[in-house]
Amino acid sequence: MFPFIQGLIQDATEKIPDIWQGSPMDGIQKLTCDQSGKVGETLIIKICEEAGISYEYRGDHCSSTVDGGKVYDLVIIIGDRRINVEIKTARVSSTGLNFQHESLRNDRGSDFWIFVDIEPNQMHVFVLKDFDLSVPEKHPILGRKPHLRKDTMNTYKYDVGPAVLHRAKAAGIATSFSNDDPDTLRGVGEFIRGVLTQ
């Protein structure tokens, strides 16, 4: 029915680099943002379980409906502390350079954000204390500031690239891993526990 346009689409599709093909993460690029977000949430839950970290998770029941309008994905419990965590999952761009975290908001009730950044052969986890996204200065550790989404008043995006990852690792708030065996996940869990209790 539309042979000319189909040909244009096919030609354009063939020119898109597929950094995921054949990688352990192949298929992540086909997920919606909500679906990949669920992958990140489920991974952090598994990490907590492997590391013996107590948590509360309500799944698809938005926490704002039960906690006075606060929005977060997970409550991590360490001793007598209840830490509200918002999990943001991003896939590396097709250039293999940047991750873009969407829909960050001020005053939503999280104490920390955990960024789960997925590359074809490895993953990165950032544990970032909640901060005022509207401040015009760059983040003191990451050296980047969030950007307000066009036509919004309190919806930000935060881009993470190699320099930001390097600074986060040097500051002890990010780690990388390339497999999901129990020992590795326990180590990531201990890392998360350590940052949350600093």
Q: Tens digit of pLDDT for each residue in 111-139? A: 999 999 999 999 999 999 988 888 888 88
Q: Is residue 102 part of a domain?
A: yes
Q: Is residue 131 part of a domain?
A: yes
The more confident residue out of 68 and 71 is 71
Q: Quote the number of domains for the chain.
A: 1
pTM of the model: 0.87
Q: Is residue 188 part of a domain?
A: yes
Query: Is pLDDT above 80 for 186?
Result: yes
The CA-atom distances, in angstroms, between 88 and each of 16, 112, 167 are 25, 11, 19
Cα distance between residue 141 and residue 87, in whole Å = 19
Q: How confident is the model at residue 38 (pLDDT cuts 50, 70, 90)?
A: very high
Nearest CA-CA partner of 116 in 87, 73, 155: 87
How many CA atoms, within 13 angstroms, populate the side-chain half-sphere of residue 19? Answer: 13
Nearest CA-CA partner of 55 in 183, 198, 193, 171: 193
**Window from 57-61, 140-144, 192-196 with minimum mean pLDDT:** 57-61
Q: Is residue 8 part of a domain?
A: no
158-185: pLDDT as tens digits:
888 899 999 999 999 999 999 999 999 9
Cα distance between residue 96 and residue 119, in whole Å = 8
Query: Is pLDDT above 60 for 53?
Result: yes
- pLDDT for the residue numbered 62: 54
Query: Is pLDDT above 60 for 64?
Result: no
Query: Is pLDDT above 70 for 14?
Result: yes
- pLDDT for the residue numbered 141: 87
Angle between helices 182-196 and 33-51 (to 10 degrees): 90
Cα distance between residue 195 and residue 86, in whole Å = 15
Q: Is residue 1 part of a domain?
A: no
The per-residue pLDDT of the chain, averaged, comes to 86
Per-position DSSP letters for 33-80, written without gaps between them: HHHHHHHHHHHHHHHHHHHT-EEEE-TTS-GGGTTTT---SEEEEETT
Q: Which phi and psi angles does 13 have, rounded to 5°?
A: -60, -40
Q: Under a CB-based contact definition with an 8 Å cutoff, are residues 70 and 107 in contact?
A: no
How many CA atoms, within 13 angstroms, populate the side-chain half-sphere of residue 7? Answer: 3
Q: Which domain covers residue 130, as residue numbers?
A: 19-196
Q: Is residue 64 part of a domain?
A: yes
Q: Under a CB-based contact definition with an 8 Å cutoff, are residues 74 and 81 in contact?
A: no
Which run of H or E residues covers position 166? Answer: helix 162-170
Q: Under a CB-based contact definition with an 8 Å cutoff, are residues 117 and 123 in contact?
A: yes
Which run of H or E residues covers position 186? Answer: helix 182-196
Q: Is residue 163 part of a domain?
A: yes
Q: Is residue 50 part of a domain?
A: yes
